[in-house]
Homo-oligomer: A and B are copies of this chain.
C-alpha cells in the first residue's frame, strides 16, 4: 500500500509560452509534500493528457533533480497508446515511484473487457519490473471507459502483485464502498476519487483519497485523514465539502489555478493549456473573495 492517505493530481503550471514550468511545479510539489500530500502528477486535474510524453518525463526528472522523494509519487501514466503507457510507466517505476495511476485507453467507445484486460496485461508484461504497482483509474464520466469489478477480479487473478489498487472517481459511493469491501481485505487499495467521501472511505477500510482539491486545501483534508476516528470528524468532513463546493461552482482546474495564483501572489499560475480556458478576471476576483471569506490565506506559509 502506498504511504500517504491523501494524494493530489498536482496542477501543472505553464510558462508564458505554455511550456510546462518546472520551477513553479517543484515549488508546488514541495508545498504539497510539507502538508503530507502525495504527488499524483499528470492526472486529469494536472492536465496530464494535454502534455506530451517527453514533457512528462522532463517534469518527473525535475522533481528527482530537486531531491523530492519518489516513493511519495504516484504518476499517472495511462494513455490511449500502449507504447506511451509503457514508456511512462517504465520511467516512473525505475525512478522508484510508489506506483503508477493508469487510465484505460480512452479513445475508442466501449472497448471489451478482453481488450482492456489485454491492455493492462501487456503493460505489466512489457514493463517487466517487480517494482511496478498499478493503480487502475476509474473516471468514466471523463474517460468514457469504466473499470468494472469483473475487470479488477480478472487482473488481480493474473497479476496479484502488480495490480495494487485503484482510484475510484465514479461518483457513486455505493460502488466505491463495494469495491473497498470486496478487494480491500486482499491488500488492493481503493482510493476515493474525491475528499467529499474521505471519511466514509476511511470508515469502510479504504486507504484514503486522491483528490484534485488537495492542491488548494491540503492541510484540512490531511487533518481529517489523520483524525477520522476522533469526535468531530463528521464536522470536519462537512467543512471540506463546503470548500469543495466553492471550487466546483467554477471550471475546476482553472479555479484551482486561480486560487494558487491568488494565494501565492503569482499570476502566472492562472495559465491553462487549450482546450481549457482560464477563469475570467471577474470570476477570478470573485473566487478569491469567497475563499478569503472562507478562511483561506497565503499558500506560502507552512500551514
Contacts and interface: CB of A to CB of B under 8 A. Distances in A.
Interface in A144-175: 144-145
Contact of A115 (B55, B104, B122, B275): B275
Contact of A277 (B51, B107, B118): B118
A228 interface: no
Given A52-B83, A82-B50, A108 B142 contact: yes
Contacts of A55: 81, 83
A105 B276 CA distance: 10
Contacts of A277: 112, 114-115, 118
A24 interface: no
A142 B109 CA distance: 6
A261 to B, nearest CB: 19
A45 to B, nearest CB: 10
A185 to B, nearest CB: 29
Contacts of A119: 274-275
A256 to B, nearest CB: 14
A105 B81 CA distance: 15
A248 interface: no
A115 B82 contact: no
A125 to B, nearest CB: 11
Interface in A102-124: 104-109, 111-112, 114-116, 118-119, 122
A18 B82 contact: yes
Interface residues of A, number: 38
B51 A81 contact: yes
A82 B111 CA distance: 26
Interface in A226-285: 273-277
| Most B CB within 10 A of own CB, among A55, A80, A145, A275 | A275
Nearest to A123: B274
A141 interface: yes
A182 interface: no
A109 B116 CA distance: 22
A84 interface: yes
B118 A275 contact: yes
A95 interface: no
A18 to B, nearest CB: 7
Contact of A83 (B51, B87, B112, B118): B51
Interface in A15-73: 18, 44, 49-53, 55
A193 to B, nearest CB: 15
Nearest to A108: B275
Interface string A189-208: 00000000000000000000
A274 B116 contact: yes
Interface in A79-96: 80-84, 87
Nearest to A276: B115
B53 A53 contact: yes
Contacts of A82: 18, 50, 273-274
